[in-house]
Structure 1
């Protein structure tokens, strides 16, 4: 059973390197020495005959001196409760090399087929193979009688994390150089030394006029008076250079500016999503799990949903303060949802000439549209324009008490999701089944993949209108595919967005400490609930983490990490001004344009190109592709082009 530590929900451990160890023989070192010398000699003369290494593979060579064939059965640990599958046959008195997967640990077993159709287990073992490693097993009568397979590592492969660490170091170095250059060019003494003209001074763009859209209003790069930050805005004026407060006649007309941390959060999520969609350097932890579990790739979509909810809280409050009628807000919600849904359909049909009888209805933008529609309608009737009841005894929790009807509605929506998931009868499947089906559990629930969620999608959307290439179908050998953006998961996605909206409501409280403490409390509560539901395990908990189903534990765990990350950005960007949020604020201001363009032009040069399947080359290509769209967003920002729906 694969265990996930409880602190998974606060620090994602999917990025942690695995500690590898070499299996060493317990019998005499002289025998092992002679085997290593034999391996070196064999590799010198016959190494070119080995199969070519591919991405996330290693060599496994079996040197058999037995007078009968050996059969190798194996199964990747990612496949939960799956039986071992036949992999290869090792001929008697022969040396045979095969490729083995290195993404997850693997259960293997060497077996012998006897004449009476009986299969004899010789040596089962469990191994986490390393990229580009050269593993050997020597099978002779001694190892056969003892039923022991000694796995020898014949080389010292480099860690596949090295390209990631080097790339991260280079990016941080370049960002540091850019920061130093900006400081030098903005320093007057340095300008005089360099004989720079005042017109050449590099300055941050001036703030734009307030709008009711979800775009960022850039500010002048300085950290404002802490007490001037209210309702998610920062005053651009009101503080003199000497630190005294300047009173204004009409404070309500002072230009306001949104918190940069929110747009930095949105832009980072979008940039990371593009990097993931372009391949993530070929690393398995930048890919979605086939079923239960969580990786870095599983964060980007829920984080984008979360920050959409945060923006909704600020936007609705702003529009109500301007006394915009609620029926106009409702029309705006419906219009925006329809446009986003239509863009999602266009995105699904942009890669090839589509057969309308097999058009995929769901998708990322479609789920965003439905989530925004449901929560937006609730917010139209429940949102408040002013912060009231500040003198009551329960004022410290007024973000909960004043909006109790909205909590009731959203908990009811979450209850509907749980009721259908665990209570809807599915023919020939146990009620409440949420497993992968297929060959899992010896095929006992072969056609039950996803339980009620898949059943609803198949009967409402039809098999021809759902995602046909789900990873669960390939790994678990299921008969049907599974729609990861299906109907039922939309309800739990609404709750993720609602938690993001709650993060935006926290901004009604004045003062940095008050906001930070509340976000941290929310991170702890949601993370603890997720840990409880999963029992800190990958598969065995009451409600495992599952992005395909958007399980309740998944919604809580990703929201916990979102609260924590938002707090970190708020402290670094808006409180202390250690970082101005660049370059991620730029895609955050034109998120819909950048998302559509990255998909429509994702296969074109110079966005991407074909390269060798090597991690460092794939990493450079995919980082280039995502960086290119950040640059496009920067150009749009400089030209003051902002597309909002």
Structure 2
């Protein structure tokens, strides 16, 4: 945790990156960053409140879908095709990281310094990703820690963010000389000024599509390594022999992960286990069908290699929105840019999905999914910008803003379950008889006489609101956890 004056502190993404400052004049709160020459000396800046609020909302959504999604499957991850509330969380993070990159790197004129900072932050993200999702931490359900290195999970949320951050930030830094900050920007010239970003994005889309549709998927075998499974230790064969399939057993995303990462290092409880093919309880989790296909028992990595390459596109779109914030001086001009692109992406993605050209799929991170989620992120951020930075309704979203200012802390302690794991370590007689269990049972489920409603309200008030208020206290004392 760092301490300092938050009103003058440069802000950082989930993970944290510096953002541009607010103008002191109430009529026009956000101003553009000037040329690198002007910024040769460090300049203290205020945070962009609407971006903090959007970041806080995304962290809050992650807590909500993780802890209440089991009782409310419509907000949890879609088993395969489609897009539920939980499926917006990752792309929202990546979009925010992209925006923060655009705003931050304008403030570091020295290219070598910028590259060093980008590299160091990437390594920190990878470290925390492996520690939190690699299997070392068993919180909040188990009071143990440690991981079998033969089965450590190599991919995860922070690892994906690290990859997107590294690629987009390096493109932003290395293409700086080709960027023009002097010209009067309009709807089209801003794309031209940052053409390297879009060129890299086009290359990523081409490579991803070529591998997704062009890779031949042979039959494959696996051994069930989940010790809780009734099939533990059994060997299965999955028949494929196809090319271009997007279905669970025979897609290129899973094939590449099995070949590169190794099947032991992939996520053991994929969302497809809640599909109709695997369980009669779909979309809820439940016992496998007696005639469930063999792939239902297999691992699958939702943050795998090929899908993470496609995920970089979400940050590239986010960095464009940061460029608009930098170069356009008028609220109306910014909103026109953002809303136009947001609706364009949203409509394009929905058309691709409903025409069955490219279905929405978070696990594969399909192009239609990129478009729909990035379009949604654009529109949500535009709403926050209008409410907070134009109409001055910032006070309505203070808990979300505080979470957004300490997003890494809340992610680690709440979303990753570290704090709940610590509390669960103090129990009475039975390891399940903990303070958290008592609060859920007696103050929420018991009062509402409904497990579904009780769990939902517990997550909203005892987790999200709690962390919002705690983040507010930390903000009051200028304490932040930054990478």
Same-fold call, TM cutoff 0.5: yes
2:431 — aligned with what? none
1:552 — aligned with what? 367
Aligned partner of residue 583 in structure 1, secondary structure: helix
The 1-side partners of 2:401 and 2:303 are apart by 27
**What is the deviation of 1:533?**
1.2
**What is the deviation of 1:643?**
1.9
Which runs of structure 1 show a deviation greater than 4 angstroms over 4 or more consecutive aligned residues?
Answer: 212-223, 252-255, 384-387
Contact 1:278 1:602 in 2 (8 A): no
The 2-side partners of 1:614 and 1:497 are apart by 38
Mapping of 1:498-537 within 5 angstroms?
A: 498-507=316-325, 508-535=327-354
Q: Which moved more, 1:280-289 or 1:297-306?
A: 280-289
The 1-side partners of 2:182 and 2:33 are apart by 19
Q: Which moved more, 1:307-316 or 1:296-305?
A: 296-305
The 2-side partners of 1:264 and 1:433 are apart by 39
The 1-side partners of 2:18 and 2:154 are apart by 34
Give yes or no for the alignment of 1:592 onto 2:392: no
Aligned partner of residue 55 in structure 2, secondary structure: helix
Give yes or no for the alignment of 1:362 onto 2:161: no
2:301 — aligned with what? 483
Bigger RCO of structures 1 and 2 (CA < 8 A, at least 6 apart): 2
Length, aligned pairs only: 402
Task: Choose between structure 1 and 2: higher helix proportion.
Answer: 2
Q: Which residue of 113, 123, 126 corresponds with 1:341? A: 126
**What is the deviation of 1:260?**
0.7
Q: Which residue of 404, 410, 429 corresponds with 2:201? A: 410
The 2-side partners of 1:376 and 1:219 are apart by 16
Mapping of 1:163-562 within 5 angstroms?
A: 208-211=7-10, 213-214=12-13, 224-227=25-28, 229-231=30-32, 256-280=45-69, 282-320=71-109, 325-348=110-133, 349-351=136-138, 352-383=145-176, 388-391=181-184, 395-427=186-218, 428-437=240-249, 448=250, 451-473=251-273, 475=275, 476=277, 477=292, 478-479=294-295, 480-507=298-325, 508-535=327-354, 541-562=356-377
**What is the deviation of 1:331?**
1.4
**What is the deviation of 1:232?**
7.2
The 1-side partners of 2:435 and 2:472 are apart by 16
Contact 1:281 1:616 in 2 (8 A): no
Contact 1:232 1:504 in 2 (8 A): no
2:384 — aligned with what? 569
The 2-side partners of 1:431 and 1:254 are apart by 54
The 1-side partners of 2:125 and 2:43 are apart by 33
**What is the deviation of 1:620?**
2.1
**What is the deviation of 1:413?**
1.1
The 2-side partners of 1:491 and 1:506 are apart by 24
2:227 — aligned with what? none
Q: Which residue of 462, 467, 479 corresponds with 1:629? A: 467
The 1-side partners of 2:42 and 2:160 are apart by 37
Identify unmatched segments of 5+ residues in structure 2: 139-144, 219-239, 278-291, 425-433
Q: 1:543 to 1:258 in 2, by over 3 A?
A: same
Aligned partner of residue 454 in structure 2, secondary structure: helix
Mapping of 1:130-145 within 5 angstroms?
A: none
Q: CA RMSD in A?
A: 2.9
Aligned partner of residue 153 in structure 2, secondary structure: coil
Contact 2:311 2:370 in 1 (8 A): yes
The 1-side partners of 2:22 and 2:103 are apart by 21
**What is the deviation of 1:384?**
6.5
The 2-side partners of 1:253 and 1:527 are apart by 38
**What is the deviation of 1:435?**
1.0
Contact 2:65 2:86 in 1 (8 A): yes
The 2-side partners of 1:527 and 1:383 are apart by 30
Q: Which moved more, 1:585-594 or 1:557-566?
A: 585-594
The 2-side partners of 1:546 and 1:607 are apart by 38
Contact 2:178 2:193 in 1 (8 A): no
Contact 2:217 2:241 in 1 (8 A): yes
**What is the deviation of 1:286?**
1.5
Q: 1:304 to 1:607 in 2, by over 3 A?
A: farther
Q: 1:255 to 1:366 in 2, by over 3 A?
A: closer
Q: 1:218 to 1:316 in 2, by over 3 A?
A: closer
Aligned partner of residue 412 in structure 2, secondary structure: helix
The 2-side partners of 1:277 and 1:573 are apart by 28
Q: 1:474 to 1:273 in 2, by over 3 A?
A: closer
Larger radius of gyration: 1
Q: 1:551 to 1:380 in 2, by over 3 A?
A: same
Task: Choose between structure 1 and 2: higher strand proportion.
Answer: 1
| Alignment deviations for residues 23-64 of structure 1 (CA, whole Å, 9 cap, x no partner) | xxxxxxxxxxxxxxxxxxxxxxxxxxxxxxxxxxxxxxxxxx
